[in-house]
Amino acid sequence: MEDLDTSLYLVIHLKPTRNMYSLKLLFSIYIFAFAKASVDDCTVTQVDEIAKLLEKCDDIQIGDLTVPATGPLPVFNLNGKNLTINGKLSFEPRYDDSQALLTITGRNFFVKNGPNGVIDGQGALYWDGKGILSDRRKPLLVNIDQAKKGHFQSLLIKNCPQTCAEVSRSNDIVISGLNVDVSDGDKDGLAVDTHGLSFVNSSAIDVKNIRIINQGACLLVKQGDSIKVFSVQCIGSEGAIIRPDWTYANHIGNISFEYVFLTRTQAGIRIQTSPHQPSGVIKDVTFLTTQVADTKFRGIDITQDYGDEGHPASNIKITNLNIKSVTGYMTDKYVRAVYINCGNGSCSDWHWSGVNIKKAQVENSCNYIPKGFDCW
Ligand SMILES: *[C@@H]1O[C@H](CO)[C@@H](O)[C@H](O)[C@H]1NC(C)=O
Ligand SMILES: *[C@@H]1O[C@H](CO)[C@@H](O)[C@H](O)[C@H]1NC(C)=O
Ligand SMILES: *[C@@H]1O[C@H](CO)[C@@H](O)[C@H](O)[C@H]1NC(C)=O
Ligand SMILES: *[C@@H]1O[C@H](CO)[C@@H](O)[C@H](O)[C@H]1NC(C)=O
């Protein structure tokens, strides 16, 4: 940019001594030089340049970049800016979960994947088969935090240490074409608790056409409202989950999951609350068209005794839960299509239809009966 300013200055001052033709030529050469320079000048090659690039560029690129184990982690505050990931963005390991490896924040922005773009968390350097119970701290890979009016297109995220991507304290976010691939962690249950995409303290989130291959939750709603997920393929995870965070008062509302296809997952639809968390409410939740294949434990699994098995509590109310059309089949011994274990009086106003999960080996169990559903 500085180059361009200087050039124009020169051109203008030379103008009286040059004819039209050479002026034009000179001008176009400078424009070309500017266009070329701006791409290079706006490509992140070191983390500590990011703030400076954000000041001078509207369109920031990441090429191949390995973030060192020490020093600042990349934080992109993208006010009105675009970010394109064109190469492999990877991170030397940090056994510290106080900050996400990559943070994106700001208002009115657009983030997309370019050719060869991948965000690689190098999970193999962290995985130990113990997930969150390990002494080894494992950072979140991508945090969309305090963002508003942001669009994420076709990101490819691989091998996260723990959670792959979390949307926190954000609203008006669109995530389309996301591809999360933690299939390298399938071996020997190494990568347990690698959640795909989670949501906390966020609203007006629109997710569509995504695919997640992982070991923890495929989708995980911890807190938030007006979250709509449309067309998801989940492979090898725990399932599509609503599970409030344990530590604070919880409100989850207006959640809709449509066309969720789950293959080789623990559960299809799962809602879990703990007797040990503060009171709260989960309401106005819709699952519309869910297909399961080779489900390994429960098709629909709703329990209020998470972390205290056999003692469901009514601290969290689950109301207006609509489930329409759940089809497919289970695999393995001891698999059960539907399990409902509510606290006393805490479940109400559930409407279900078209639940037809085949090849279950154990009878359904329900201590609350949704309207329209015949448990036995
Ligand atoms: C950012 O990308 C969007 C969508 O491709 C485009 O419409 C917009 O003009 C871009 N903005 C900048 C600052 O490059
Ligand atoms: C979500 O909000 C609660 C309540 O304000 C707060 O305690 C918690 O730290 C927040 N979590 C995140 C990840 O923003
Ligand atoms: C529920 O969420 C949808 C987006 O999924 C939004 O369009 C709608 O306005 C929300 N409804 C309420 C009552 O908040
Ligand atoms: C459930 O709650 C009701 C009313 O609060 C009470 O009468 C009943 O005994 C409780 N049932 C159980 C199984 O605790």
CATH classification of the domain holding 213: 2.160.20.10
Atom 4 (ligand 3) nearest CA: 226
Cα 150 from Cα 205, distance rounded (Å) = 10
Q: Are residues 32 and 88 in the same domain?
A: no
Q: Is 220 exposed, middle or buried (0-12, 13-18, 19+ CB in 10 A)?
A: buried
- The residue written with tokens 């962290």 in the block is 126
Q: Per the domain annotation, does 233 fall within a domain?
A: yes
Distance 8 CA to ligand 2 centre (A): 51
Q: Per the domain annotation, does 54 fall within a domain?
A: no
Which structure tokens are listed for 147? Answer: 């963002």
Substitution site in 39, 81, 110 for ligand 1 pocket (most atoms within 8 Å of beta carbon): 110
Q: Are residues 181 and 124 in the same domain?
A: yes
pLDDT at residue number 38: 57
Substitution site in 97, 166, 200 for ligand 2 pocket (most atoms within 8 Å of beta carbon): 200
Beta strands in 184-295 (DSSP E): 197-200, 202-213, 219-221, 224-235, 240-242, 250-263, 267-272, 280-295
Number of H helices and E strands in the chain, helices first, is 3, 27
Q: Per the domain annotation, does 13 fall within a domain?
A: yes
**pLDDT tens for the 376 residues of the chain, in order:** 333 333 333 333 333 333 444 444 444 444 444 444 456 789 999 999 999 999 999 999 999 999 999 999 999 999 999 999 999 999 999 999 999 999 999 999 999 999 899 999 999 999 999 999 999 999 999 999 999 999 999 999 999 999 999 999 999 999 999 999 999 999 888 999 999 999 999 999 999 999 999 999 999 999 999 999 999 999 999 999 999 988 887 899 999 999 999 999 999 999 999 999 999 999 999 999 999 999 999 999 999 999 999 999 999 999 999 999 999 999 988 999 999 999 999 999 999 999 999 999 999 999 999 999 999 8
Q: Are strands 365-366 and 336-341 parallel, antiparallel or unpaired?
A: parallel
Q: Are residues 20 and 103 in the same domain?
A: no
Q: Per the domain annotation, does 90 fall within a domain?
A: yes
Q: Are residues 160 and 195 in the same domain?
A: yes
Q: Are residues 37 and 67 in the same domain?
A: no
Q: Are residues 75 and 210 in the same domain?
A: yes
Q: Per the domain annotation, does 47 fall within a domain?
A: no
Distance 256 CA to ligand 3 centre (A): 9
Is residue 111 helix, strand or coil?
strand
For residue 204, which atom of ligand 3 is closest to its CA?
4
Q: Per the domain annotation, does 235 fall within a domain?
A: yes
pLDDT at residue number 39: 62
Is residue 94 helix, strand or coil?
coil
Q: Is 195 exposed, middle or buried (0-12, 13-18, 19+ CB in 10 A)?
A: buried
- The residue written with tokens 């991508």 in the block is 142
User: What is each CA distance from 101 to 74, 81, 123, 222, 361, in whole angstroms?
Assistant: 7, 20, 12, 20, 43
Cα 207 from Cα 165, distance rounded (Å) = 13
Radius of gyration of the chain (CA): 25
Q: Are residues 313 and 283 in the same domain?
A: yes
Cα-Cα end-to-end distance for the chain: 71
pTM given for the model = 0.89
Q: Are residues 250 and 337 in the same domain?
A: yes
Cα 192 from Cα 202, distance rounded (Å) = 25
Which structure tokens are listed for 235? Answer: 């492979």
Q: Per the domain annotation, does 66 fall within a domain?
A: yes
Q: Per the domain annotation, does 118 fall within a domain?
A: yes
Which structure tokens are listed for 123? Answer: 């999970």
- The residue written with tokens 């266009």 in the block is 35
Domain containing 11: what range? 1-41
Q: Are residues 26 and 170 in the same domain?
A: no
Q: Are strands 267-272 and 156-158 parallel, antiparallel or unpaired?
A: unpaired
For residue 226, which atom of ligand 3 is closest to its CA?
2
Backbone angles phi, psi at 38, to 5 degrees: -65, -35
Q: Are residues 168 and 228 in the same domain?
A: yes
Total domain count, the chain:
2
Q: Are residues 118 and 190 in the same domain?
A: yes
Cα 132 from Cα 120, distance rounded (Å) = 20
CB 241 within 8 A of CB 271: yes
Distance 278 CA to ligand 2 centre (A): 13
Q: Are residues 139 and 250 in the same domain?
A: yes
- Between helix 20-41 and helix 2-14 the angle, nearest 10°, is 170
Atom 8 (ligand 1) nearest CA: 82
DSSP annotation string for 294-352: EESSEEEEEES-TTSTT----SEEEEEEEEEEEEEEE-STT-EEEEEE--TT-EE--EE
